């Protein structure tokens, strides 16, 4: 599965706001745990190790 780097979210500003809002009232530790859980859930959904490796490399750069 090739990693899609083109804009692919219908309402990106709404998505970003929801992402920020879900961290509201959380401690830094709670927000990091929530982000880690979200990453694992979405990684499982993607399920392709090569795609995930490519995404991790891009995120780190």
Mean pLDDT calculated for residue range 9-25: 96
Interatomic CA distance for residues 50 and 15, integer angstroms: 26
Mean pLDDT calculated for residue range 26-42: 97
Instruction: Give CA torsion, residues 42, 45, 48, 50, to 10 deg.
Output: -10
* Residue 3 neighbours by CB under 8 Å, 6+ apart: 51, 54, 55, 58
b/e per residue, 32-52, with b = 16+ CB within 10 A?
Answer: eeeeeeeeeeeeeeeeeeeeb
pLDDT above 90 (res 1): no
Report the chain's mean pLDDT, rounded to a whole number: 96
pTM of the model: 0.85
pLDDT of residue 47: 96
């Amino acid at each position: 599965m090739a990693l899609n780097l083109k804009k692919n979210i219908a309402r990106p500003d709404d998505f970003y706001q929801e992402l920020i809002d879900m961290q509201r009232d959380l401690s830094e530790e709670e927000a990091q745990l929530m982000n880690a859980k979200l990453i694992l859930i979405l990684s499982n959904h993607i399920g392709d190790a090569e795609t995930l490796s490519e995404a991790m490399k891009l995120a780190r750069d």
